[in-house]
Amino acid sequence: MNDSEETNSSTIKALIVFREDGDTDNLFVPILCDAIRMTGINVRCSTQEFWESDTAYDIIHFQWPEEVVGWTCDNPDIICRLEERIRFFRSRGAHFIYTRHNVRPHYANDVISRAYDIIESQSDVVVHMGRFSRDEFAARHPGSRNVVIPHHIYQYTYQENISVERARQYLKIPQEAFIVTAFGKFRNREEIRMMLGAFRAWDQPDKLLLAPRLYPFSRRNDYGGNFLKRWTSRAGYYLLMPLLNRWMKLEAGANDELVDSCDLPYYMAASDVIFIQRKDILNSGNVPLAFFYHKVVVGPAVGNIGEILSETGNPTFDPDDKTDIVRALKSARRLALQEKGEANYDYAMENMNVRKVGKEYAQTYKDAVNG
């Protein structure tokens, strides 16, 4: 195909398979959609469109397979429908792109695991957010087409000009504390043990852990009418949480309570260090978010997370070694005092800015369409 025959951006019609109502606490896709749209590509965000539309799209772009079939779907009939819809769109000339957020689903069942298999195998191009993911995927899927595009930062999204002092005043936390923030939901007991065990062992007198979604308690969940579970959970919420917070130098909340998007920048601005509390992870939006807010990040030496933190000089740790986590926390404190966060911000603005990432996705679309 010569240059005159190639498809340009303005003629490409793309569908990103993701909810279109904006009801999400993860703004990765809405920001990405706008970034790609800025390049001139006609892109729409919708899950319903994938299942019900007869529109001929040039690109069908999958994100999380759970967004396609449903996050708690256990109906095996959806798998046949998924395969049928892929065949239908391919017969209309569509090419399939998959952005790989996870190696496998966090909360797997057979239906969702099968959806992962289908989307991974049927996609013409798989986009990875780091070389680790690309190499691991290529080894399991020989012959696959893979590209690396970094996770974008959160420009033009949250309030940016919040001082540390103002943020701490807003959140009612001590101005003089050295604050480590573990943002996002703690998914299991292992993550809680890892975080609290290392934090307790860290001999730092002015430390404070900010973890808004730490505890597995709830004041709202009725646990299907199970009185004992409901009573135990609410007792933990109202009685145990305040005691643990005082004893362990924490400002922590329940893991089923989302942080309001208006409050999120205050948590970031108030922090000295952002801690990635995962033991097994591929990507985390908390890294570009923290970089954007001029923060040092400490995280596990696994997946794309370990790769980007090592490349940028941020501390990593073995998630199964408490001593190593404490070492990483000490290193993070030293780097924060040396204003390493400014270098992180500069790196993010150069390599992970929205316009750059949007152009790289647009080029991936064009390459897929043009073969």
208 and 94 in a single domain? The answer is no
* pLDDT score recorded for residue 9: 63
Closest CA to 96 of 15, 21, 2: 15
243-277 pLDDT tens trace? 888 888 888 888 888 888 889 999 999 999 999 99
SS3 per residue for 330-363: HHHHHHHHCCHHHHHHHHHHHHCCHHHHHHHHHH
Report residue 258: phi and psi, to 5°.
-70, 150
DSSP assignment of 47-82:
SHHHHH-----SEEEE--HHHHH-TT---THHHHHH
Q: Is residue 177 part of a domain?
A: yes
Tell me what pLDDT residue 2 has. 45
**Alpha carbons 34 and 45: distance in angstroms, whole number:** 10
Quick one: 321 and 343 in the same domain?
A: yes
* pLDDT higher than threshold 90 for residue 17: yes
- pLDDT at position 248, please? 82
Whether residue 3 is predicted with pLDDT greater than 60 in this model: the reply is: no
Q: How confident is the model at residue 10, as a pLDDT?
A: 66
In-domain check, residue 67:
yes
Give me the pLDDT at residue 227, please: 67
Alpha carbon distance 115, 17 (integer Å): 14
pLDDT of residue 315: 98
pLDDT tens readout for residues 93-117: 999 999 999 998 877 789 999 999 9
Helix (H, G, I), strand (E, B) or coil at 140: helix
Residue positions counted in the chain: 371
Whether 179 and 303 share a structural domain? yes
Q: Do residues 332 and 303 both lie within one domain?
A: yes
User: Domain range for residue 218?
Assistant: 164-351
The reply to whether 358 and 345 lie within a common domain is: no
**Residue 249, SS3 per DSSP:** coil
Same domain? 193 vs 74: no
Kindly report, residue by residue over 149-169, the tens digit of the pLDDT. 999 999 888 888 899 999 999
Q: Higher-confidence residue: 139 or 248? A: 139
Rounded distance between C-alpha atoms, residue 92 and residue 313, angstroms: 47
Q: Do 311 and 293 sit in the same domain of this protein?
A: yes
Res. 6 pLDDT band, cuts 50 70 90: low
Does 344 lie in the same domain as 204? yes
* 176 and 299 inside one domain: yes
Decide if 158 is inside a domain: no
In the numeric block, the tokens 């909340």 are attached to 253
pLDDT (0 to 100) of residue 1: 46
- Tokens 């973890």, located at residue: 211
Same domain, 143 and 20: yes
Instruction: Find the mean pLDDT for residues 297-323.
Output: 97
pLDDT tens column, 198-222 = 999 999 999 999 999 998 887 777 6
Residues 328-352 pLDDT 10s: 999 999 999 999 999 999 999 999 9
Residue 157 falls within a domain, yes or no?
Answer: no
Residue-wise pLDDT for 55-98, tens only, equals 999 999 999 999 999 988 889 999 999 999 999 999 999 999 99
Please tell me the total count of domains within the chain.
2
Q: Which residues contact 192 (CB under 8 A, 6 or more apart)?
A: 186, 214, 216
State both tokens at 197.
């065990």
C-alpha separations of 325 from 310, 331, 336, 370 in Å: 15, 10, 16, 47
pLDDT on residue 254 = 86
Same domain, 50 and 176: no
Q: Which of 104, 106, 115 is nearest to 77 (CA)?
A: 115
Separation CA 257–CA 61 (nearest Å): 30
pLDDT (tens digit per residue) in 323-332: 999 999 999 9
Q: In this predicted model, which residue has the larger pLDDT, 364 or 227?
A: 364
CATH number for the domain including 56?
Answer: 3.40.50.2000
In a domain, 159, yes or no: no
Q: Is there a domain that residue 39 lies in?
A: yes
| Measured distance CA(199)–CA(189) in Å, rounded | 15
Q: Are residues 250 and 343 in the same domain?
A: yes
CA distance 371 to 362: 14
Q: Please name the amino acid found at residue 114.
A: R
